[in-house]
Copies of this chain bind each other. A is one copy, B any other.
């Protein structure tokens, strides 16, 4: 069965965490919003699903995934569903709660990364909240990146199965999400992230190892991968990056 992934066209955003899992799994999927109107696809079709008055449990926002009749909303929830179906979770059941807990912590950091450029309101333009964004971005760089990344590095260090992955001794979907989070931060805050590999060597090694996985590498080269850009949660506004002093 071909999955239907619903996410905004033109940006990585939260949809990218799902795409990476689908690509690593070699799963068949279509991107509904990127499809053609004449085929019943496109952004309009995505909005129609969200706004449907007959859908039993409509989603609040993209990304959401359809697998036959099942509609699953929320990034971490989609990954929770896909993980066991594609060998992207540990075999030990209890460790799946560890994976999900880490995934939700990544989600929290993604929200904070978004709020660096939109601290006052998603409804306002960045240009109308630049001063507040500078305060929030500075706090994010000085306090939040070290707090989150120091924690994730420690999880890898204390992983009883070795320090190559976050959980167990094999790749799980949360490793793919960690790659994406780090990659987004490299893009958004290149000056602040300069010392990242030195401060968080295990996380940096994980990021690079994911880059070299054959299916991920092929995906990143393909036209399915959208480049980082300023519509995403990770935006490169040089004035929000670490000041050069």
Residues of A within 8 A of B (CB): 53-61, 70, 72-74, 76-77, 80-81, 94, 97-98, 100-102, 104-105, 107-108, 111, 115, 119-124, 132, 135-136, 139, 143, 148, 151, 154-155, 158-160, 167
Contacts and interface: CB of A to CB of B under 8 A. Distances in A.
B104 A74 contact: yes
30 contacts: A54-B158, A56-B159, A56-B160, A57-B102, A57-B158, A57-B159, A57-B167, A58-B154, A58-B158, A60-B151, A61-B105, A73-B101, A74-B100, A74-B105, A76-B104, A77-B100, A77-B101, A80-B100, A104-B104, A108-B111, A119-B119, A119-B120, A120-B132, A120-B135, A120-B139, A121-B135, A121-B136, A121-B139, A123-B139, A132-B132
Contacts of A167: 57
B56 A70 contact: no
A61 B144 CA distance: 13
Among A73, A101, A136, residue most surrounded by chain B Cβ atoms (within 10 Å): A101
Contacts of A98: 57
For the residues of A in contact with B, the DSSP-based class is: helix
Contacts of A60: 105, 148, 151
Given A74-B104, A119-B136, 10 more contacts: A54-B158, A56-B158, A57-B158, A59-B101, A73-B101, A77-B104, A104-B104, A119-B120, A121-B139, A123-B143
A81 B155 CA distance: 21
A167 B120 CA distance: 33
A58 B153 CA distance: 11
A73 B148 CA distance: 14
B119 A58 contact: no
Contacts of A119: 115, 119-120, 132, 136
Nearest to A160: B56
A67 to B, nearest CB: 9
